[in-house]
Amino acid sequence: MSAHICYPYPRMPRTLDPDLRRALAARIRYYHDMGIYDFYWQPVTESQEAPSIKNDASPLADAAIHPPSGDEMTPRKAAAVAASRVVEENIFEVTAAKPEQGIDDPIKALKLIREDLGDCTRCPLHKQGRKQIVFGVGNPHAELMFVGEGPGADEDQQGEPFVGRAGQLLNNMIKAMGIAREDVYIANIVKCRPPGNRTPEREECETCSPFLMRQITAIKPKIIVALGATAAKTLLAMNSSMAQLRGRFYDFKPVGVRSNDPNWNGCQLAVTYHPAFLLRDPRQKGEAWKDLQMVMKELGMKPPNPAT
């Protein structure tokens, strides 16, 4: 996942010593392993000198980042300070390159992302009873993508998202739109089953979602449908109710990753109820159908003839 840099001030490129460049690259990779992807640039006066950065196994213990007296810095704040003091044009894009970058074929790109994910142990879910990673399934060229919360027991057993009761309902919802499950791509915010099917915790979502962002960028859908509050709030970084989130489209661009296609600069995102919620409260199925009709209209789709 490439770093996402916010420039609140004009860029000031400066030439870095090769050793300092390598040390900074190692530092950024370290922060990425911790799940930190956002870096913020701040202006530096001529009197400020670049800190000495050592390429060791404990960057946070390094004297390169000097917190103000009495100010204990968090890893995210430390990353911001490090990036603000030593910045060069495009260095983050170069050092944070991922295996699938430069691959135009989404099938190959998704394969590389899955290989990079590996037998993931990045968050606590890997030691809380998961049987296997549930990566995603469907058409790599899909215009429509569904994103749920996380695998359940059936999904954990089969290694495919939405194959249980909620998955059967999702299949019916997709069929009602006049398309097949094989025409769309389906994934989740987290790829490991939370114990007892509990809601994924924030750390788990933040650790796993960068791989989802890379999947989205590889597929380049026209519309994403976020299924349920967890998916919607994670993707949109908004802590609003479902009533507030539904009924409109959001401009969505995957965080921290750049598309190889200059014609794809993100997509539209809609929010609807999770199929598991609809099983518990069937009265809301009509509202979910309104959301899907909104998506169909945006894609220029018409529902199948009821008689057929």
Tell me, what CATH number does 159's domain have?
Answer: 3.40.470.10
Q: Which of 65, 95, 125 is the last residue of a domain?
A: 95
Residue 298 CB neighbours (<10 A): 14
Question: Is 184 within the bounds of a domain?
Answer: yes
Which pTM was predicted? 0.71
pLDDT digits (tens, 9 = 90+) for 183-238: 999 999 999 999 999 999 999 999 999 999 999 999 999 999 999 999 999 999 99
pLDDT at 292: 98
At 304, is the pLDDT very low, low, confident or very high (cuts 50, 70, 90)? confident
Q: For residue range 125-138, what is the model confidence (pLDDT) as tens digits? A: 999 999 999 999 99
Query: Residues 253-281: what's their mean pLDDT?
Result: 94
Tell me if 273 is assigned to some domain. Answer: yes
Range of the domain at 78: 4-95
Is 114 found in the same domain as 84? no
Total domain count, the chain: 2
Helices (H), 237-284: 242-245, 275-280
φ, ψ at 138 (rounded to 5°): 130, -160
- 23 with 161, same domain? no
CA 15 to the chain's CA centroid: 32
The last residue of one of the domains, among 95, 130, 165, is 95
Q: What is the pLDDT of residue 17?
A: 62
Please indicate, yes or no, if residue 272 is contained in any of the structural domains: yes
Tens digit of each residue's pLDDT (9 = 90 or more) over 14-27: 455 666 766 776 67
If asked whether residues 22 and 116 sit together in one domain, one would say no
**pLDDT value at residue 24:** 74
100 in a domain, yes or no? Answer: no
> Do 58 and 126 belong to one domain?
no
**Is 308 a domain residue?**
no
Q: What does the alpha-carbon distance between residue 55 and residue 66 come to, in Å, rounded to a whole number?
A: 16
Is pLDDT at 266 greater than 70 in this prediction? Answer: yes
Confidence category of residue 32, pLDDT binned at 50, 70, 90: low
Average pLDDT in the chain: 81
